Amino acid sequence: MKKYRFLLWIAIAVALIFVATGKDILYTADMFVTDHLYAHYDGPEQNIVVIGIDEETLSKYGNLTLWSRDKTADLINKLYSDENNSPAVVALDIMFVDHFDEEADAKLVEACRGRNIVVATNIVRRGETEEENGKKFFNKNHIYDIEMPFEELRVVTISGFTNPDIAPDGYVRYATNTINVPSALQDKAGKTQDSFAYSIYKKYMEVTGGTVVTPDTNGRFQFMYAGTAGEYSQASFERVLDGDTVDPKLFKDAIVIVGAYAPGTQDSYQATSDRDTVMYGCEIHANIVQAYMNGRTMLLANKYLMAAITSLIFVLFILFFRKKVLYITIPVSFVIALTYALVGRILSGNGICIPCIYLFVALALADLYFIFEKYILELLENLRYQEEIKEQMWSFTEAMAAAIDERTPYNASHTRNVAKYSGMIADYINKLHEAGEEEEVFSTQRKEQLVMGALLHDIGKLAIPLEVMNKETRLAGREKVIEDRLNTFRLKKKIEQLEGRISEETYNEFEDKTKGAVELINKINGMGFVNDELRAELKNVLEYEYEDSEGNKEPFFTDEEKECLSIVKGTLTNEERKIMQSHVEITGRILSKVHFNKYFADSPVLAVKHHECLNGKGYPNGLTADDLNTDARIIAVADIYDALVADDRPYKRPIPREKAFDIMRGMVKDGNIDGRLVEYLYKATEEALPKPAEN
């Protein structure tokens, strides 16, 4: 029996390794390890220089979006004014979409003509339903538009997209060589579009006579940072343009990257080289360019191949060292882990990135298993089998609860809080029972089943996309796209006014209209609840259109944006809410695969009922009061209370305790939850409040 149990344990462990590695469940932890382990900080190249649009520059020239383009033209001309100290390539991490000022635009074009200038483009992604091999799917990364420099500038420069590739954990560690441009956009952007850094690198190699070495990927790769924020040679835009304090030799034969270098410019990101400090976009581009130049790029190893290798090492370690004493097996596991890490570092230097955390965790689990088998089982062998199963179930449940709560900061302690409040209600019922005021009583087993059910009630959230769970606002980051769109409309109207096609009064009315629209959506975007008055105003604004002098119309908002802004309560659309609510059914499916012994038989049953209501209006099964025992009702009350008072939800502020119970009493009147249990929780939490100090 023990042999089969051992083989089964290995099979489950290998399956979990494959699932964890293949699905990259521990992505954030693995990246934390490998970002440090694989770092090769060679230091910035002296021939890469950043000219920063810093606070000093903004203080003198004002908001970057309002600059005349002749400042950039003057900067380029000054950089190339000394032939002996002129740069090899100048890269402008600044958008020059559409005409702004005819004279300044012409001056900029002339400054770029005949020189090695790279300018920025921006890829606009918007989710859209697509079809491939006869199957429809929703592509959230669909390229909706590519914002290119205005045509005359495009002819005399090279362009590349500056969009950062932000990893799931919020850090920039990936880069892309080239993307394929959708056919609808190829007239203005070409069939392919290189990244900003790749365009700089290729132009520099062309100028210096070097050989372009492209990472052999499908376009995406992981790059190594040369250093931390602020390490590249940097000069202030204003000092270069207007002063004589910057030595022109700094730019001789260099790659000069011009870009935002001040807080508030919305062009700073988390870099893996320094997790405590943000890095400006121009510095990140500099790091990627240097990674191209020095061959500091890495391919991502196949996940399932790494799962197979991890599983093989894990199984061999188990088989060869299971019978050894622990003072041998544990040091050996550390040696294996260190050797694997060393191999990973060597491979990283040769362009291959392998995950580490999964083997570390597997070896740690193996060591824990050895400890458990050699000592704990021997100590507990005289105890009842039921107690052993209880301990295993609790460890599994606590691990699952931790995995749920730690997956997102917006669920930081919810699972454990629901379990705590459920236990408090059970304890209060027992207190009343002892006083002869309550017939029900919670035995140790009944309470443990209740608490376990509470700990498992949200396990299905492991499968809910983070973009749904972490959705802080209705627009979820689309605000800038809308503002840019309305700014574009406003510029077009301004051009019409300057050309005499519309009156100044008409332009002013349109400008007020766009500003009013932006103010309203910014106001509504983060609100918890939108009242009738604002909804009526919003309904009118959502129908706004831009109409040019020839009668062509374009809506202010897309249908998807309208749907998001029309959300009355919370931040989720109907479809997103359905996805979120599906976590209950997923919880049921997951728990149905887990064997619960008789002692905990009711825990999975309770876990899947926490969103059911006494009046049958809950989900997923529309159960009624007759279907919901006291235990199921307790978890529902505890879940609602923690959701109300929680201070870590993206869509609402925490509600004070007294107001939370007023809301819950309203839900009692509506027939949703059990009023008796609400009052029990009220009394239990009241007793748990800190007592005032005695005088």
Residue 471 — left, alpha, or beta (φ > 0 → left; ψ -120 to 50 → alpha)? beta
Higher-confidence position of 324 and 625: 625
Tokens for 281, please give them: 């976009």
Q: What does the alpha-carbon distance between residue 451 and residue 401 come to, in Å, rounded to a whole number?
A: 11
Which residues, other chains included, contact 195 with Cβ-Cβ below 8 Å and sequence gap of 6+? 160, 161, 162, 175, 176, 177, 178, 179, 288
Outline where DSSP puts E strands in 133-273. Answer: 135-139, 143-147, 158-161, 165-166, 171-176, 178-180, 192-194, 220-223, 233-236, 255-260, 268-271
The pLDDT tens digits of the residues spanning 77-110 come to 999 998 899 999 999 999 999 888 889 999 999 9
Q: Judge whether residue 384 has pLDDT over 60.
A: no
The pLDDT tens digits of the residues spanning 641-653 come to 998 888 766 556 7
Q: Judge whether residue 624 has pLDDT over 80.
A: yes
**What is the predicted pLDDT for the residue at 684?**
92
- Using DSSP's 3-state secondary structure scheme, residue 180 falls into strand
Backbone angles phi, psi at 569, to 5 degrees: -130, 135
Average pLDDT over residues 509-528: 82
Ranking 150-154, 212-216, 252-256, 432-436 by mean pLDDT, the lowest is 212-216
> What sign has the CA pseudo-torsion 194, 195, 197, 198?
negative
Whether residue 222 contacts residue 284, with contact meaning beta carbons closer than 8 Å, is answered with no
Q: Scan for tokens 């802080």, then name that residue.
A: 472
**For the whole model, what pTM was predicted?**
0.53
What is the 8-class DSSP label of residue 83? G
Average pLDDT, the chain: 85
- Kindly report each contact of residues 470-473 with a partner whose C-beta sits within 8 Å and lies 24 or more positions away, as own/partner: 470/408, 470/409, 470/410, 470/650, 471/571, 471/572, 471/576, 471/650, 471/651, 472/526, 472/571, 472/650, 472/651, 473/525, 473/526, 473/571, 473/650
Q: What does the alpha-carbon distance between residue 237 and residue 55 come to, in Å, rounded to a whole number?
A: 10
Tokens for 125, please give them: 């992604």
**What is the predicted pLDDT for the residue at 386?**
61
